[in-house]
A and B are shown apart, each in its own frame.
Chain A
Amino acid sequence: MIDFLYGPLITAGLAAGLALVIVVLDAIVNNYGDVKIDINEGQRSYTVRGGANLLGTMAAEGVFVPSACGGRGSCGACKVRVLSDVGPHLPTELPYLSAEEVTQNVRLACQIKLKKDIAIELAEELFSVKKFQSTVSSIKTITHDIKEAVFRLDNPGEIEFMAGQYVQLVVPPYGTFKESVQRAYSMSSKPGDRQAVELLIRLVPGGIATTWVHQFLKEGDRVELVGPFGEFHVRDTTAAMVCVAGGSGMAPFKSMFYDILQNSSYPEKEIWYFFGARSGRDMFYLDELRQLETLLPRFHFVPALSEPSSDDKWTGETGLITDVLERFLKERIGTAKGLEGYLCGSPGMINACTTVMTRNGINLEKIYYDKFA
């Protein structure tokens, strides 16, 4: 009567047995035991469970290496130099590495599986990077495609950073996205305001993080931030700052200028700020920065529109920001104390501004920016 059940039962039994064998074999073969991560030749050392990737394992120990894709191997940001043998470079790493980096055994931390003890080199600044739990305290629409979001820090409750640095915003799975990703944004808040972080986020069509901020994020939401990162900050010299930005590239400069105002720092530095936008609807913070000119007389704000509409009634500078910059470098900006360039924008904008700056006497090694792309 129940003969018909024997076949399926035997098949199910065999499948269950096979699954058990696979689980046992996996536990034996992939059990790497404890492995030691040595950082900077003994400066720090962690004993961790092997088997996972280096990026995630270090993050669990509180050591955060920049990563934009959350460890999926698609951004190439999580580079570390490995001093011990972890095998040859993987095909998934090579597109992101220069020939020199391959020679120096620079690896992508997300692609290295911890199978044995490993020794790596890390920039010391990364030891001060933390993961912050925060709550969105405000989101303001600044232009048709830029939001200003303020994150109140809950745990830890304060952040220490230099004006110009950036944090990584952890975007949780939402809508149809099943994986968390991270994206880097410069902080626009002042370092003196330690209990909160302000970001300016421009909508990128099809962008995972910016779509989340513009369409899903709301006040009261809990959000994770990782930071601070970056080498972009004001140099303590008497040379004049020549700053250029467009769009959300405003963020690090807002932080720098208001920090300088608050602390009366770098009193001998002249500051020239060139901000480019296409038309009036892309321009923002005009009143605030005009006000800053009155509070900080050595600050000079030069906004420019490349394609002003008749409705804009624009009386300021017009043309591409590189053209305006070149004109001012030739005719208006004094070079007596030397010049430094500070840039925040797309790779194309950085390349174009670097060309103009070097053509007008600013040394390449005195042009500063964080490459986000």
Chain B
Amino acid sequence: MKYTQIERAVQERMRPGHITALGLLGDDQRPVADIMQADSEAFSRLGMDFDQVADLLEHLRSAGQDGLGEPITVDNRYLVSTGDARGVLPCPWNDGVHHKNAITVQDQRSGRTIIYSDLSIHLLRVHHFCQGKGSPFRLDPDTLAAIL
């Protein structure tokens, strides 16, 4: 498969040690475009909309911040913890920077957990990129469907 120059640069910036020490691809060997296509198909299959999911993740982040750094129950269903780190993370598509943080949402109904950041929300909303399989910050469509 041939990559464009932009795709090559984006894929490179997603590798460990560029934007984050872990990278955004996990152990996923597929090209970014293939990951995005597969996840977009999964979103369609599950009847989910990227903007709506991003809105929900933002809602959980905002409500979680009321816990002042401690876990807090949100909507009588989710246990949300928010943590902040020093600095910002640039988007691999070079269209902005985002506060470095980690939001952990544990769904007390299904027992499933997702971890995401401000950058994750941007990647989902703007680029429809859920991160590669094995990335701790991956927003797996099936998990999102079960949780949200």
Q: Using a CB–CB distance below 8 Å, which chain A residues touch chain B?
A: 68-69, 72, 74-77, 95-96, 176-179, 181, 184, 204-208, 246-247, 249, 276-278, 282, 306-307, 320-322, 345-349, 352-353, 372-373
Complex alpha-carbon distance, A207 and B83, angstroms = 10
Contact call A206/B70, Cβ cutoff below 8 A: no
Contact call B102/A207, Cβ cutoff below 8 A: yes
Complex alpha-carbon distance, A72 and B53, angstroms = 32
Complex alpha-carbon distance, A307 and B65, angstroms = 15
Contact call A276/B68, Cβ cutoff below 8 A: yes
Point out the residues of chain B lying under 8 angstroms from A278, CB to CB: 67, 70-72
Complex alpha-carbon distance, A29 and B136, angstroms = 42
Contact call A346/B83, Cβ cutoff below 8 A: yes
Residue B17 lies at the interface, judged by CB distance under 8 Å to chain A: yes
Complex alpha-carbon distance, A353 and B68, angstroms = 9
Complex alpha-carbon distance, A116 and B65, angstroms = 46
Point out the residues of chain B lying under 8 angstroms from A177, CB to CB: 16, 21-22
Known: A74-B89, A76-B86, A348-B82. A206 touches B68 (CB 8 A): no
Contact call B70/A246, Cβ cutoff below 8 A: yes
Complex alpha-carbon distance, A353 and B70, angstroms = 14
Q: Point out which of B72, B86, B88 has the most chain A C-beta atoms below 10 A from its C-beta.
A: B86
Contact call A75/B17, Cβ cutoff below 8 A: no
Q: Point out which of A75, A176, A205, A347 has the most chain B C-beta atoms below 10 A from its C-beta.
A: A205
- B68's partner among A96, A179, A246 (CB-CB below 8 A) is A246
6 residue pairs A–B, Cβ–Cβ below 8 Å: A75-B86, A177-B21, A204-B102, A307-B72, A348-B69, A373-B101
Complex alpha-carbon distance, A335 and B88, angstroms = 40
Q: Point out which of A179, A208, A348 has the most chain B C-beta atoms below 10 A from its C-beta.
A: A348
Of all chain A residues, the one with the shortest Cβ separation from B106 is A205
Complex alpha-carbon distance, A177 and B136, angstroms = 14
Contact call B85/A206, Cβ cutoff below 8 A: no
**9 extra interface residue pairs, beta carbon distance < 8 Å, beyond A204-B83, A206-B115, A320-B68:** A76-B87, A179-B17, A205-B136, A206-B22, A307-B71, A346-B68, A348-B65, A348-B68, A348-B84
Point out the residues of chain A lying under 8 angstroms from B71, CB to CB: 278, 282, 307
Residue B73 lies at the interface, judged by CB distance under 8 Å to chain A: yes
Complex alpha-carbon distance, A232 and B87, angstroms = 20
Contact call B22/A372, Cβ cutoff below 8 A: no
Contact call B90/A208, Cβ cutoff below 8 A: no
Contact call B17/A72, Cβ cutoff below 8 A: yes
- A346's partner among B17, B84, B137 (CB-CB below 8 A) is B84
Residue B66 lies at the interface, judged by CB distance under 8 Å to chain A: yes
Point out the residues of chain B lying under 8 angstroms from A346, CB to CB: 68-69, 82-84
Interface class of chain A by DSSP:
loop
Point out the residues of chain B lying under 8 angstroms from A321, CB to CB: 68
Contact call A345/B69, Cβ cutoff below 8 A: yes
Of all chain A residues, the one with the shortest Cβ separation from B18 is A72
Contact call B87/A75, Cβ cutoff below 8 A: yes
Known: A179-B21, A206-B115, A207-B102. A68 touches B85 (CB 8 A): yes
Contact call A322/B21, Cβ cutoff below 8 A: no
Residue B56 lies at the interface, judged by CB distance under 8 Å to chain A: no
Q: Point out which of B71, B72, B90, B104 has the most chain A C-beta atoms below 10 A from its C-beta.
A: B71
Of all chain A residues, the one with the shortest Cβ separation from B98 is A95
Point out the residues of chain B lying under 8 angstroms from A322, CB to CB: 68
Q: How far is the CB of A213 from chain B (nearest CB, A)?
A: 15
Of all chain B residues, the one with the shortest Cβ separation from A245 is B69
Complex alpha-carbon distance, A54 and B17, angstroms = 20
Residue B146 lies at the interface, judged by CB distance under 8 Å to chain A: no
Point out the residues of chain A lying under 8 angstroms from B67, CB to CB: 278, 306, 320
Residue B19 lies at the interface, judged by CB distance under 8 Å to chain A: yes
Q: How far is the CB of B46 from chain A (nearest CB, A)?
A: 24
Q: How far is the CB of B70 from chain A (nearest CB, A)?
A: 5
Point out the residues of chain A lying under 8 angstroms from B89, CB to CB: 74
Of all chain B residues, the one with the shortest Cβ separation from A322 is B68
Q: How far is the CB of A349 from chain B (nearest CB, A)?
A: 4
Point out the residues of chain B lying under 8 angstroms from A69, CB to CB: 87
Residue B145 lies at the interface, judged by CB distance under 8 Å to chain A: no
Contact call A247/B69, Cβ cutoff below 8 A: yes
Complex alpha-carbon distance, A249 and B67, angstroms = 14
Q: Point out which of B17, B67, B69 has the most chain A C-beta atoms below 10 A from its C-beta.
A: B69
Residue B97 lies at the interface, judged by CB distance under 8 Å to chain A: yes
Contact call A95/B82, Cβ cutoff below 8 A: no
Q: How far is the CB of B82 from chain A (nearest CB, A)?
A: 7
Contact call B97/A277, Cβ cutoff below 8 A: no
